[in-house]
Structure 1
Amino acid sequence: MKIHLTSIFVDDQAAAQRFYTDVLGFVTKHDVPVGADRWLTVVSPEDPDGPELLLEPSGHPAVKPYREALVADGIPLAAFAVDDVHAEHDRLRGLGVRFTQEPLRTGPVTTAVLDDTCGNLIQLQSP
């Protein structure tokens, strides 16, 4: 068994696609109209056949209180691996990304947490 697809709720799919591709560096894999929304997935350019991240519309009534509680408590919704958290932090900060946690060594990993501008906190981590 392996992870094929996971999702992250976003308020605006077009804005999320721009952030996740133009800023974070993912590439769009699927972009299929589904009524008023889209089946919109992105993947790592380093693993285009690997796990897909669905940029899922946040319209379900349970999503807003769930995400607000996570953000209020500083809990990231997802974690992405990078080779060097400090270098990625500097690159993203240069692009205007807001971090809620600066790079921090926590045992065997270094982490940082960013605001994805779509309603979520995302953790970056490297060994």
Structure 2
Amino acid sequence: MKVTLISIPVRDQEKALNFYTEKLGFLKKKDIPLGGGNRWLTLVSAEWEDGPELLLEPGPNHFEPCKVYQDALLDAGYPYTQFDVDNVDAEYERLINLDVKFSMKPTEMGTVKVAVFNDTCGNNIQLVEEL
């Protein structure tokens, strides 16, 4: 058994697509219309194109519990998910220069360094570097 798809709830798939590709550097893999303005929209890491796909899921627009959960995480400052990077400081500087808003600057926590940013689509995302 292996993980092939991870979903992240977004409130605007087009805005999320632009943010995740233009700012974060992900690549669009699938973009299939599903009707009602929804799409099966997946991305992959440019560094791991054969790795798991990230589904930009419009769940909060159609399923209230999803929206409530997403809002609760955002309001509490908790990340929805994490992305591993080789160098959190370098990635932080790169993203700051692209006007990405961080709620936590690079911070060492034991054996990792983390930073947290807002994806503009309802989620905090944590960057993690293993030290």
Give the TM bin, normalised by the shorter chain: over 0.9
Give the secondary structure class of the aligned counterpart of 2:64.
Answer: coil
What count of residue pairs does the alignment treat as equivalent?
Answer: 127
CA distance in 2: counterparts of 1:71 and 1:34, whole angstroms = 28
Q: Aligned residue for 1:3?
A: 3
CA distance in 1: counterparts of 2:27 and 2:2, whole angstroms = 21
TM-score, length-scaled by structure 2: 0.95
Measured against aligned partners, the alpha-carbon deviations of 1:90-120 in whole angstroms (never above 9, x if no partner) come to 0000000000111000000000000000000
Q: Aligned residue for 1:49?
A: 50
Give the secondary structure class of the aligned counterpart of 1:14.
Answer: helix
Identity %: 51
Q: Which amino acid aligns with 1:52?
A: E
Q: Which amino acid aligns with 2:103?
A: T
Q: Which amino acid aligns with 1:91?
A: R
Q: Aligned residue for 1:68?
A: 71
TM-score, length-scaled by structure 1: 0.98
Give the secondary structure class of the aligned counterpart of 2:71.
Answer: helix
Q: Aligned residue for 1:111?
A: 114
Q: Aligned residue for 1:34?
A: 34
TM-align CA RMSD: 0.7
Give the secondary structure class of the aligned counterpart of 2:99.
Answer: coil
Q: Aligned residue for 1:100?
A: 103
Q: Which ranges of structure 2 fall in alignment gaps of 5 or more residues? A: none
Q: CA deviation at 1:49?
A: 1.2
